[in-house]
C-alpha cells in the first residue's frame, strides 16, 4: 500500500499514554505505532500530556470531572477542525477513535474511518440521527453526500449486529495487542485477578462476590476515574471489602509493569462486566501470558474466550465461582496459542490498512 499521512483522533477526556486504562486509547496507540512502523506518517489529536509514536496535535488540557465532558469535547473537536482547515492537504485519511468526531466529516474535507468501540447503548441516540437517509436517495446518506465521506467499522461480530442498518459500515476489525509485550509463563499464583476501570458497569463488586463464594484470594487492580459517580460507586460497593479481614486486595492505578506482573501470575482473570462489551483487551493480554479467563456471557466475550479451552463463559456469580474449581484444567499453552492466532497487533494493523484502502477508493468514487 502507498505511504499515507494519517491523523488519528482520540477521546477528548484524558491523555493517551501507555498507562491509559481505556481500551480505545490502547488500541489507538497500538494501531498508530504499527502504522508508523510500516512507513506511514502518523499524527494523533489528543489531550495535552499524551505520548504517541508520531506527531502529537495537542487539543487542550484533560477534563477534571465527567461534567466537563461536553465542554472538553467541543474544545477538542474544534481544535482538530481548525487545524485541518488551516493545513489543507496534510493528511490523506482521518481515523477517528474518539466516538464522536465523525460528526465533523463534512468540515474536514478528508476521507474518514470511524471505529465504534462502545456498545451502541453507550452512544447518545442523537449521534446517529443525522445518518438517516436523505429523502429520495436510497444509495447515499445525506451526511456523506460530500467530497469527504465518512465510514464506520466495528470491533466484533456481536457489536456489528447492534449497528445493523448504519450507513457506510464497511467492516469489522477485531482488536489486537502487541504480543511481544506479554511474555508467556506457566508459573501461576494462588490469586484470581480483576483488572480494569473501577466503575459500576465493569462490576468489580461481582468479582468480590465470586471471590467470597469460591473462597479464593482476589486482586482488584485498576483506576477510579475522578468522576463523581465512579467515586461514589467505589465507596459504596468496593471499599467496604478492603478492610484487611477479607481476601480482597486493591492495587490502585497500577503501572503497566505491575499490570503485566499481575496478568502473568494470576490463576485466572475474571470479566464481570454487566455491559454488552464489544471487546476485551485485558482478556487478550491475559491469554497471551498463558492465563485463562472466566467471563460472563456478555457481548463479544464469547468471541475472545474459547469455552473450556482458554477459560469459561458463564452466566452467574455462582457459575463463575464453580468455574474456578476447574480452572487448572485449562492449559496455559492453549491460551497463548489462541492469542497468537487471533489477537496480534500485526493482524489488526493489516486489516486496518485494507479498510483504509477501501475508504480511499470509495471516497474517490463518490467524488468522481
Model confidence band, residue 14 (pLDDT cutoffs 50, 70, 90): confident
- C-alpha triplet 70, 18, 103: angle, nearest 5°: 30
Q: What is the pLDDT of residue 322?
A: 98
Segment 143-158 mean pLDDT = 75
Segment 186-213 mean pLDDT = 96
Residues linked to residue 223 through DSSP beta bridges, in sequence order: 197
- From CA 29, how far away is CA 277, in angstroms rounded? 20
Whether residue 91 is predicted with pLDDT greater than 80 in this model: the reply is yes
- From CA 43, how far away is CA 334, in angstroms rounded? 37
Segment 340-344 mean pLDDT = 98
Q: According to the 3-state scheme, what is the secondary structure of 214-283?
A: HCCCEEEEEECCCCHHHHHHHHHHHHHHCCCCCCEEEEECCCHHHHHHHHHHCCEEEECCCCCCCCCHHH
**Domain range summary for the chain, segments of one domain joined by +:** 5-176+344-367, 179-342
Segment 1-13 mean pLDDT = 93
Q: Does pTM surpass 0.85?
A: yes
Decide which of 8 and 65 is more confident: 8
Domain 5-176+344-367: homologous superfamily in CATH: Glycogen Phosphorylase B; (3.40.50.2000)
Identical topology for domains 5-176+344-367 and 179-342: yes
Segment 257-285 mean pLDDT = 97
H or E, element range at 193 = strand 192-197
Q: What topology is assigned to 179-342 in CATH?
A: Rossmann fold (3.40.50)
Whether residue 3 is predicted with pLDDT greater than 70 in this model: the reply is yes
Whether residue 140 is predicted with pLDDT greater than 50 in this model: the reply is no
**How buried is 121 (Cβ within 10 angstroms: 0-12 exposed, 13-18 middle, 19+ buried)?**
exposed
Model confidence band, residue 137 (pLDDT cutoffs 50, 70, 90): very low
Decide which of 75 and 138 is more confident: 75
Whether residue 136 is predicted with pLDDT greater than 70 in this model: the reply is no
Specify whether the CB–CB gap between 100 and 140 falls below 8 A: no
Whether residue 53 is predicted with pLDDT greater than 70 in this model: the reply is yes
Whether residue 109 is predicted with pLDDT greater than 70 in this model: the reply is yes
Amino acid at each position: 500500500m502507498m505511504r499515507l499521512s494519517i491523523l488519528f483522533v482520540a477521546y477528548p477526556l484524558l491523555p493517551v499514554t501507555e498507562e491509559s486504562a481505556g481500551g480505545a486509547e490502547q488500541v489507538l496507540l497500538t494501531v498508530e505505532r504499527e502504522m508508523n512502523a510500516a512507513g506511514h506518517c502518523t499524527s494523533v489529536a489528543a489531550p495535552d500530556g499524551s505520548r504517541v509514536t508520531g506527531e502529537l496535535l495537542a487539543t487542550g488540557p484533560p477534563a477534571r470531572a465527567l461534567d466537563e465532558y461536553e465542554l472538553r469535547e467541543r474544545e477538542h473537536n474544534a481544535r482538530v477542525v481548525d487545524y485541518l482547515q488551516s493545513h489543507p492537504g496534510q493528511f490523506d485519511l482521518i481515523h477517528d477513535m474518539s466516538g464522536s468526531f465523525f460528526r465533523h466529516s463534512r468540515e474536514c474535507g478528508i476521507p474518514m474511518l470511524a471505529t465504534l468501540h462502545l456498545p451502541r447503548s453507550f452512544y447518545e441516540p442523537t449521534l446517529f440521527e443525522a445518518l438517516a437517509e436523505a429523502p429520495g436517495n436510497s444509495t447515499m446518506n445525506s451526511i456523506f453526500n460530500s467530497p469527504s465521506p465518512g465510514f464506520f467499522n466495528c470491533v466484533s461480530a456481536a457489536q456489528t449486529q447492534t449497528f445493523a442498518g448504519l450507513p457506510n459500515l464497511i467492516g469489522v476489525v477485531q482488536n489486537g495487542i502487541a504480543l511481544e509485550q506479554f511474555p508467556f509463563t506457566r508459573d501461576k499464583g494462588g490469586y484470581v485477578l480483576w483488572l480494569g476501570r473501577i466503575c459500576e458497569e465493569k462490576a468489580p463488586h461481582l468479582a468480590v462476590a465470586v471471590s467470597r463464594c469460591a473462597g479464593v484470594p482476589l486482586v482488584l487492580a485498576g483506576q477510579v476515574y475522578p468522576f463523581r459517580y465512579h467515586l461514589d460507586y467505589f465507596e459504596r460497593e468496593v471499599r467496604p471489602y478492603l478492610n484487611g479481614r477479607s481476601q480482597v486486595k486493591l492495587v490502585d492505578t497500577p503501572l503497566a509493569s505491575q499490570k503485566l506482573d499481575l496478568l502473568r501470575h494470576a490463576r485466572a482473570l475474571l470479566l464481570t462486566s454487566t455491559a454488552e462489551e464489544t471487546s476485551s483487551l485485558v482478556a487478550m493480554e491475559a491469554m497471551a501470558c498463558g492465563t485463562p479467563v472466566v467471563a460472563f456471557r456478555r457481548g463479544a466475550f464469547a468471541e475472545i474466550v474459547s469455552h473450556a479451552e482458554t477459560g469459561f463463559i458463564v452466566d452467574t456469580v455462582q457459575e463463575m465461582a464453580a468455574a474456578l474449581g476447574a480452572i487448572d484444567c485449562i492449559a496455559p499453552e492453549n491460551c497463548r496459542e489462541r492469542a497468537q492466532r487471533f489477537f496480534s497487533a500485526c493482524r489488526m494493523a493489516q486489516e486496518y490498512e485494507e479498510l483504509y484502502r477501501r475508504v480511499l477508493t470509495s471516497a474517490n468514487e463518490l467524488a468522481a
